[in-house]
Amino acid sequence: MQAHHGISDAIGRTPAVWLDRMVAARGLRGRILAKLDYLNPGFSKKDRAARGILDLAAQRGELTQGQPVVELTSGNMGTGLAILCAARGHPFVAVMSRGNSPERARMMRALGAEVVLVDQAEGSQPGEVSGADLALVEEETRRLTAARGAFRADQFRHPGNALAHERTTGPELWDDAGGTLTAFADFAGSGGTYAGTIRALKAHAADLRGYLVEPEGAAALSGAKVTRPGHPIQGGGYAMRDLPLLQGAPVDGYLTVSGQAARATARALAREEGIFAGFSAGANVAAALDLLAGPEAGGTVAVIICDSGLKYLSTDLWP
């Protein structure tokens, strides 16, 4: 393999690993393929979306040379944007809730980003970012975008997010599995990973099933009553019923995962498979195990290892 010309070219083409030890240890039939997107330069899958948004915005003339970029983030999208903006000459401002782990803010600052932390909504718990918290971050993001004359990356709406996964993640997963996948499950944040990936996978196999994963008590996308909008699975599950990037994306089923199950499965991933991942990766693998114990028994389920456990060392994920 030849050297890349820049950090942007190092995004994607991450390894994939069969989680056969975990499946066998639980007496299940079938296989789980885990895409190790925590091995991207910013240690998360959001590097793909960040590149997709900036590339499409530049092509459309939405982003001009040297223009500031502003975006709300739980940390991963902000890290991806910080890396790419540094390489492309765009000042970057990340707007983040104080409820997210501080490692992320430190990493973005190290990459040259300006990080604006927003206080949580009244009644919110540190380490548990709710939809109300995100609304406050959104308000500040809009204010800063206007004040700085910036391009708003807008990961919850910009089509470059889902397009990146349709063009890269989905095709890579299909090739990684040798065309054997029967299902894909993904924890919903912006919805871009799920929407883009499932479209690409269903283009290969129309009967492949897609499952959206949400936190227990905050499964708004499934239409369930929201009883606990705050939860420890950082990076998604904001109890938002309308995610624009999911419009038109095929969904064959919905799954819920508790914070306890996500935490326990992330720890099991580290001990049993040597994969040091974050909360949402734990949620994805927990959902895949549930699928093999139920409707996908004997099948082959793909998941994304969304980010690195290094981003959660200050949380209760790692006692």
Give the residue numbers annotated as catalytic, written as ranges. Answer: 46, 280
C-alpha angle with apex 127: 45 to 303, nearest 5 degrees? 30
Number of Cβ within 10 Å of residue 35's Cβ equals: 24
Closest CA to 34 of 253, 231, 272, 249: 272
